């Protein structure tokens, strides 16, 4: 199969205003380095060091082997160029978009680097994304290829690919080419391969302030939005994060969270470790048992977790004595960490906690490693850059008094000013002067640290995964007999929030089936991504009387969340 159909270029993406760009260049944040330059420079610098340890999709998924493989930077370089060549041989051209959807394996790394080396732009999808989201990501960017590992996470990615490709074809669009990285791949580069400059034949010079990749937003309205990040802005956030988090060649970074998430990728994450010639250890399952084994075997020094995971580590560690002497830093982010949990991390796990509050749109806050314990346990830190501008505003958009909670707005060298191809959302998500409205309620302390205290956006945060309430509601409205659907975040001691779905109408699940199982399977059939499926379903013949009348949807969700929460 071949992607030979020439893909149209991306719709124009407005650069940030020159007065800001020139300031960011003058400060050294924006350099001329592009991703391919960066990758080649790193690969040349660290030849014999161990770059990565983990499972290989080529061994594990076809044969169920659980043997880990280790690559030096030199071997990683070869694999990345082979991946670039593989994509090129399938017709992927410089400037094309490539949907990457890989589990935490060595190929995650070689194909991410390979996409960049091929001059293409990765779209970082999660293994749990399903047909609806994938159709949207591939369709709206005209992606040339979709890279997946058939059978990973017990999932038939080929079938998912077929499902959404059919939808795209029906809409008159050209689906991407399927690239299954569990298959045998080319193992030599052709003589014609220009090792140093595989993007030499690119039609237009890649400038570092052009779009390099797409991250995905959690979404507050409809499907996840595409976040265009530039070479210059993303690499700045990686370099600065590596400094703040003191990543060095001695660092051994355990990758437990889905690798494609912005936190795992760049805060300082996989790219920060790569930049400093550190070692990445990919965990193939998120259980604390597996992580503890890997920490002991490979001398892991740092790890990034979401609050529910760190809680499961604490639970296991209190059940039996735990020795993890190599582990120095545990980053926790993606959702609110309770101070009472934060306080236990140092004493029980013997590592320094670093709180991280970030967003794929840009802004990332860190507590610093040498902050006092109270700051580390009770705040989510402060921004990467002194040029990150933060405003805390009330519902009228006026700045609140210091110490009061308000919505966080932000603008800065690595925060986007528009989503890709989402004009309507852009009007509400950004202010006229380019601030991103985060939808987060924060308090800003006099020392500059922020405390995340809540949220005004219509989103559920389930263990760090973000679900737009209206996407779930719109899809649920299509179920037979449903007159209204309200998605609610139910407080949960383990996950932070569970996804509750209140359905109003005369629903009759087929005989013998529980409502929850039935609703989940119906939504799954409609292509809803796995992590967005409801944990609990409530069926009502009509809304409770108290909710009838002049009540906004937001208030309705809040009221039903209170009504149906266990506590
Ligand atoms: C990270 O990125 P996203 O894009 O999945 O989600 C961003 C949202 C934030 O707007 C906020 O609502 C929430 O996730 N969030 C937190 C938090 N970190 C993120 N809420 C409370 N406490 C925290 N520590 O989640 C992300 C991106 C880069 C680094 C870290 C996290």
* Total Cβ atoms within 10 A of residue 180: 17
DSSP assignment of 350-368: -SEEEEEEEETTEEEEE--
- Ligand 1 atom with the shortest distance to the CA of 438: 10
Residue 301 is classified by DSSP as -
Ligand 1 centroid vs 383 CA: distance in angstroms?
Answer: 13
Could you tell me where the beta strands, DSSP code E, fall in 57-104? 69-72, 97-101
Q: Give distance in angstroms: CA of 208 to centre of ligand 1.
A: 26
507 and 481 Cβ atoms separated by less than 8 Å? yes
Listed as ranges, residues in the chain with pLDDT below 50 are 198-203
Q: Where are the beta strands (DSSP E) in 413-449?
A: 436-444
How far is 532 from 67, CA to CA, in rounded Å? 32
Rounded Cα distance, 365 and 355, in Å: 8
Q: DSSP class of residue 168? A: H
Residues 224, 214: Cα–Cα separation, whole Å: 11
Q: Which residue, 460, 476, 432, is CA-closest to 531? A: 460
Give the distance from CA 435 to its chain's centroid. 21
Q: In angstroms, what is the span from residue 544 Cα to ligand 1's centroid?
A: 33
Whole-number Å distance, alpha carbon 54 to ligand 1 midpoint, is: 26
Q: Are 499 and 466 in contact (CB under 8 A)?
A: no
357 Cα–ligand 1 center, Å: 5
Query: What is the distance, to the nearest Å, from the Cα of residue 375 to the centroid of all Cα atoms in its chain?
Result: 26
Q: Which residues line ligand 1 (CB under 6 A)?
A: 218, 262-263, 267, 333-336, 355-360, 364, 380, 438, 440, 452, 455, 464, 466
In the sheet that holds 121-124, the strands lie side by side as 177-180, 145-148, 97-101, 121-124, 211-216, 226-230
pLDDT of residue 131: 96
Atom of ligand 1 nearest to the CA of 333: 24
Q: Which of 226, 240, 334, 355 to mutate to test the pocket of ligand 1 (most atoms within 8 A of CB)?
A: 334
Q: Which of 260, 333, 365, 459 most suits a substitution to test ligand 1, by most atoms within 8 Å of the C-beta?
A: 333
Which pLDDT score, from 0 to 100, does residue 196 have? Answer: 57
Largest CA distance in the chain: 74
d(CA 316, ligand 1 centre) in Å: 25
* Contacts for 119 with CB less than 8 Å, ≥ 6 apart: 36, 93, 94, 95, 198, 199, 202, 206
- Using the mean position of ligand 1's atoms as its centre, give its distance from the Cα of residue 391 in Å: 17
pLDDT for the residue 206: 56
Atom 19, ligand 1: residue with shortest CA distance: 334
The closest residue, in CA terms, to atom 20 on ligand 1 is: 335
């Amino acid at each position: 199969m071949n992607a030979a159909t020439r893909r149209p270029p991306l719709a124009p993406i407005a650069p940030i205003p020159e007065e800001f760009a020139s300031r960011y260049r003058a400060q050294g944040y924006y350099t001329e380095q592009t991703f391919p330059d960066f990758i080649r420079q790193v690969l040349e610098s660290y030849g014999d060091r161990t770059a990565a340890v983990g499972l290989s999709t080529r061994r594990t998924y076809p044969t169920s082997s659980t043997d880990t493989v280790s690559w030096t930077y030199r071997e990683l370089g070869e694999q990345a160029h082979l991946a670039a060549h593989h994509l090129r041989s399938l017709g992927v051209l410089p400037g094309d978009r490539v949907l990457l959807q890989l589990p935490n394996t060595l190929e995650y790394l070689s194909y991410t680097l390979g996409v960049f080396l091929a001059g293409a732009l990765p779209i970082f999808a999660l293994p749990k994304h399903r047909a609806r989201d994938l159709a949207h990501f591939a369709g709206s960017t005209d992606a040339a290829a979709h890279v997946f590992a058939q059978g990973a996470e017990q999932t038939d990615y080929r079938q998912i690919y077929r499902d959404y490709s059919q939808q795209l074809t029906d809409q008159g669009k050209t689906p991407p080419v399927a690239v299954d990285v569990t298959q045998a791949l080319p193992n030599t580069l052709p003589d014609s391969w220009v090792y140093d400059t595989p993007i030499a034949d690119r039609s237009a010079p890649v400038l570092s302030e052009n779009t390099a990749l797409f991250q995905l937003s959690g979404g507050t309205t409809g499907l996840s939005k595409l976040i265009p990040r530039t070479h210059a802005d993303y690499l700045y956030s990686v370099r600065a994060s590596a400094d703040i988090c003191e990543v060095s060649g001695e660092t051994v970074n355990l990758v437990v969270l889905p690798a494609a998430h912005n936190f795992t990728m760049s805060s300082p994450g996989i790219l920060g470790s790569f930049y400093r010639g550190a070692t990445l250890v990919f965990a193939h399952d998120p259980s604390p048992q597996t992580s503890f084994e890997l920490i002991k075997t490979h001398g892991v020094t740092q790890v990034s977790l979401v609050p529910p995971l760190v809680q499961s580590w604490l639970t296991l560690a209190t059940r039996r004595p735990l020795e993890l002497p190599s582990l120095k830093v545990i980053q926790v982010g993606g959702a609110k960490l309770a101070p009472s949990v934060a306080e236990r991390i140092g004493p029980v796990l013997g590592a320094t906690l670093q709180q991280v509050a970030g967003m794929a749109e840009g802004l990332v806050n860190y507590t610093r490693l040498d902050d006092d314990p109270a700051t580390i346990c009770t705040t989510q830190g402060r921004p990467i850059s002194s040029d990150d501008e933060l405003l805390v505003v009330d519902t009228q958009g006026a700045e609140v008094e210091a110490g009061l909670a308000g919505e966080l707005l932000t603008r800065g060298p690595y925060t986007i000013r528009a989503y890709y191809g989402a004009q309507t959302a852009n009007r509400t998500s950004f202010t006229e002067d380019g601030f991103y409205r985060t939808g987060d309620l924060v308090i800003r302390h006099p020392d500059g640290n922020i405390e995340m205290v809540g949220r005004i956006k219509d989103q559920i945060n389930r263990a760090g995964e973000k679900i737009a309430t209206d996407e779930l509601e719109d899809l649920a409205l299509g179920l037979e007999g449903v007159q209204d659907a309200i998605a609610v975040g139910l407080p949960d001691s383990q996950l932070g929030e569970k996804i509750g779905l209140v359905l109003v109408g005369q629903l009759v699940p087929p005989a013998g089936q529980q409502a929850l199982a039935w609703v989940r399977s119906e939504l799954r059939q409609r292509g809803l991504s796995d992590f967005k499926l409801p944990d609990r379903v409530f069926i009502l013949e009509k809304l409770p009387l108290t909710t009838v009348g002049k009540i906004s949807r937001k208030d309705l969700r809040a009221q039903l969340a209170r009504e149906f929460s266990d506590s």
